[in-house]
Structure 1
Amino acid sequence: DVTPARLVTAIITERGTCAASREGLRALFPDLAPGPAA
């Protein structure tokens, strides 16, 4: 199944939870971010 993006409000990862956005993922995974936010 694929959930529509508009229905996803958060993401749960091994590092914790974050907002379902690029900024949220960058906050949890700064070591994997390619560079400054575009």
Structure 2
Amino acid sequence: FFMAKINNFKEGNKASNHVINDIMFLYNLGLKRGLSDHIEVLL
């Protein structure tokens, strides 16, 4: 569901691709560092 929503958002607004890239970067960073560290980074 999440990935499908991201894909639809990309198609709907190419100008926001950099935002999506930032979100995916933080998401992947969270997977590597652990959920608690990821939350601290976002906060």
> Which one has the bigger helix percentage?
2
TM-score (norm 2): 0.30
